[in-house]
Chains A and B, each alone.
Chain A
Amino acid sequence: MTTPVVVVDGLTKRFGVRRGVSNVSFEIMPGEVFGFLGPNGAGKSTTIRLLLGLYRPDAGRMQVFGLDPIGDGVAVRRRVGYLPGELALYPRLTGRQHLDRFAHVRGLSDLGLRDELVERFSAELDRPVRALSKGNRQKIGLVLAFMHRPDLLVLDEPTSGLDPLLQDEFQNLIRETVADGRTVFLSSHELDEVQRLVDRLAIIKDGSIVVTDTVEGLRRAAPRTIQFRFAAAVDPAPFAALDRVRVLHCADGRISLSVTGSVAPLLRAAAVLDPVDVTARPADLDELFLSYYRATPGDAP
């Protein structure tokens, strides 16, 4: 059995009554891209900081590579690359000074990957960080996170400030990273990016996980809208009686239905009524994510 790279079980950290995370649990397997989604202030960064040993938890259990991120923090952080959501660099130092110093701390002697990343992201290294745009600072942050070829990447809003070309380059880098057998924990607001990159994801809201699933699983669970047109008015009751089918609208021989799961029972029910036309709209993951964002913890959307 494969051992998870990250195990989080019942993790709780409170800042006052309303802020923090409560009873958060999930696992990340080796070689996967695990997405972590949620609205602002939901607890994404808090969870990440707990995993890196920056915050001390109030309750719960965490393991990274089978180690305790607090007690074995040095060993854990040696194998982790981290890009914080609000990257703060030293304003007076140049990008090169940052990279040199941090490479030295990590005992990095082979700078080949670092130089390749600098070239790939066209990172500006010779001006003080305070003179750089947000995107250019973010490039330095990405190089700092990836340059030591870590086994686990923890990336909090990694493409924030990057132009579309570099976002593509970043996505290529993530694909190469997992192809290499390494693992990525990706917190993001970019639903497009999440759909393209992640294998599994958790959605956090108000400090609690509301769902953990594969993107494909969520897509299957996402409601699709199907509309039939009939030659004459139809009775919606046979459709409403079907499992996982909801009648949205029914008038003048037209019926709109929301379907989750298989469409076969619905098609059979419609077929006996001789439909004239049918249209179907694919599952809208964006809408599904947003409905989870709006839902109260523990409720399905």
Chain B
Amino acid sequence: MSNDVALLDLRLRRRSMIGYTVGMAVYAFVIVALYPSFRNDTSLNQFTENGSTVAALFGANGPLTTPAGWLNANMYANFVPLVVLLLTIGYGGSCLAGQDEDGTLGLVATLPLSRRRIVLEKTATMSLQAVPVCLVTMLCVLLGQGFDLTVPLTGLVGVTIGTVLLGIEFGALAMLIGAVTGSRGAAVGLASTIAAAAYLISSLAPVVPWLHPARFASPFFYAVGDGQLTDGLSVPDAAVLLAVAAALTGACLAAFDHLDVH
């Protein structure tokens, strides 16, 4: 089976993927390399003491001088998901609705390809958007062993997979909104807003009692917000992320089948 639609879109997104990956590698390396300078700075932990909501807003919970606390506060609870979501929501909004607005989707939709095939190939491309950034971050963290920054490998792999799945889930949401509305702006805007709300719920839930039960409604909780960096990604957490992504993709297949392509 050929995968020309996926290859075509990967070709078109090549520059942004490389740019984000290189940028993330530099950022992750700096964070890792800075750790020895902060590991004994106990004053840093005051930032998150007593359940500071401001710290929680930035994704920082618990002691920051431990390897996991340092990586979570500087990368996995905020920056890595943000970059991954920029890529997957950006592509999710553009691959159907955006390309329809540009007129290029019409070129593809008049080829002998089913709409189902087009959506599935674009979903695969969207999923791949998340991988290089997460992989390069993981590699940089592995290098961190040379900087006294050691986290369990299962945790590192778990949070990496969780972040990829988180990106896929919101990318699929952007694709669905794009397929329903035919508008790139609506797709990117709505998916980003929902992601921001989900991030707030997951990051504030540990310190805001009335939000605590709502954490189960946030994909961030299942991906990065439940101790994945130390404990790994549990099968139920992964299953929730996969199931939601699959449901969104199914809805996108149905919606795209009814979309008027220009």
Binds A, one of B44-52, B110-118, B136-144, B156-164: B110-118
CB distance from A26 to the nearest CB of B (A): 20
Say whether B106 faces chain A, with CB atoms less than 8 Å apart: yes
Say whether B40 faces chain A, with CB atoms less than 8 Å apart: no
**Which residues of B (220-234) have their CB < 8 Å from a CB of A?**
none
Say whether A292 faces chain B, with CB atoms less than 8 Å apart: no
Interface centre among B2, B11, B110 (most CB of A within 10 A): B110
Contact between B111 and A106, CB atoms less than 8 A apart: yes
Binds B, one of A47-55, A161-169, A219-227, A240-248: A47-55
Contact between B2 and A104, CB atoms less than 8 A apart: yes
Distance between Cα atoms of A63 and B106 in the complex (Å) = 20
**Which residues of A (62-105) have their CB < 8 Å from a CB of B?**
73-75, 77-78, 80, 82, 84, 86-90, 92-93, 97, 101-102, 104-105
**Given A55-B260, A88-B106, A89-B104; A101-B4 close (CB under 8 Å):** yes
Say whether B214 faces chain A, with CB atoms less than 8 Å apart: no
Say whether B8 faces chain A, with CB atoms less than 8 Å apart: yes
- Give the residue of A74, A78, A80, A90 whose beta carbon is less than 8 angstroms from that of B104: A90
Instruction: Please give me the residue from chain B that is nearest to A100 by CB atom.
Output: B4
Query: Size class of A's contact patch?
Result: 20 to 34
Contact between B112 and A106, CB atoms less than 8 A apart: yes
Distance between Cα atoms of A80 and B107 in the complex (Å) = 13
Distance between Cα atoms of A78 and B113 in the complex (Å) = 9
Contact between A80 and B258, CB atoms less than 8 A apart: no
Say whether B213 faces chain A, with CB atoms less than 8 Å apart: no
Instruction: Please give me the residue from chain B that is nearest to A55 by CB atom.
Output: B260
Say whether B12 faces chain A, with CB atoms less than 8 Å apart: yes
Instruction: Please give me the residue from chain A that is nearest to B259 by CB atom.
Output: A56
Say whether B262 faces chain A, with CB atoms less than 8 Å apart: yes
CB distance from B165 to the nearest CB of A (A): 30
Distance between Cα atoms of A151 and B49 in the complex (Å) = 73
Q: Which residues of chain B have C-beta atoms less than 8 A from A86's C-beta?
A: 103
Cβ proximity bits B58-78 to A, threshold 8 Å, 1 near / 0 not: 000000000000000000000
Distance between Cα atoms of A186 and B184 in the complex (Å) = 32
- Give the residue of B104, B106, B113, B260 whose beta carbon is less than 8 angstroms from that of A105: B113
Say whether B261 faces chain A, with CB atoms less than 8 Å apart: yes
Contact between B110 and A77, CB atoms less than 8 A apart: yes
Q: Which residues of chain B have C-beta atoms less than 8 A from A101's C-beta?
A: 4, 7-8
Q: Which residues of chain A have C-beta atoms less than 8 A from B260's C-beta?
A: 49, 54-56
Distance between Cα atoms of A54 and B130 in the complex (Å) = 30
**Given A54-B260, A77-B111; A84-B103 close (CB under 8 Å):** yes
Distance between Cα atoms of A104 and B12 in the complex (Å) = 17
Q: Which residues of chain A have C-beta atoms less than 8 A from B262's C-beta?
A: 49, 54
Contact between A84 and B106, CB atoms less than 8 A apart: yes
Say whether B102 faces chain A, with CB atoms less than 8 Å apart: yes
Q: Which residues of chain B have C-beta atoms less than 8 A from A104's C-beta?
A: 2, 4
Contact between B102 and A54, CB atoms less than 8 A apart: no
Distance between Cα atoms of A87 and B104 in the complex (Å) = 8
Interface centre among B4, B111, B114 (most CB of A within 10 A): B111
Say whether B243 faces chain A, with CB atoms less than 8 Å apart: no
**Given A74-B114, A77-B112, A93-B11; A54-B106 close (CB under 8 Å):** yes
Say whether B34 faces chain A, with CB atoms less than 8 Å apart: no
Say whether B109 faces chain A, with CB atoms less than 8 Å apart: yes
**Given A55-B261, A105-B4; A89-B112 close (CB under 8 Å):** no
Contact between B106 and A75, CB atoms less than 8 A apart: no
Some 27 contacts from A to B, beta carbons below 8 A apart, are A49-B260, A52-B110, A54-B106, A54-B260, A54-B261, A55-B260, A55-B261, A73-B114, A77-B112, A82-B110, A84-B110, A86-B103, A88-B102, A89-B104, A90-B104, A92-B12, A93-B11, A101-B4, A102-B107, A102-B111, A104-B2, A104-B4, A105-B2, A105-B4, A105-B112, A105-B113, A106-B112
Excluding A77-B113, A86-B103, A89-B107, 15 further A-B contacts by CB distance (< 8 Å) are: A49-B106, A73-B115, A74-B114, A75-B112, A77-B110, A88-B102, A90-B8, A93-B11, A104-B2, A105-B5, A105-B111, A105-B112, A105-B113, A106-B112, A144-B107
A interface residues (Cβ-Cβ under 8 A, vs B): 49, 52-56, 73-75, 77-78, 80, 82, 84, 86-90, 92-93, 97, 101-102, 104-106, 144
B interface residues (Cβ-Cβ under 8 A, vs A): 2, 4-5, 7-8, 11-12, 102-104, 106-107, 109-115, 258, 260-262
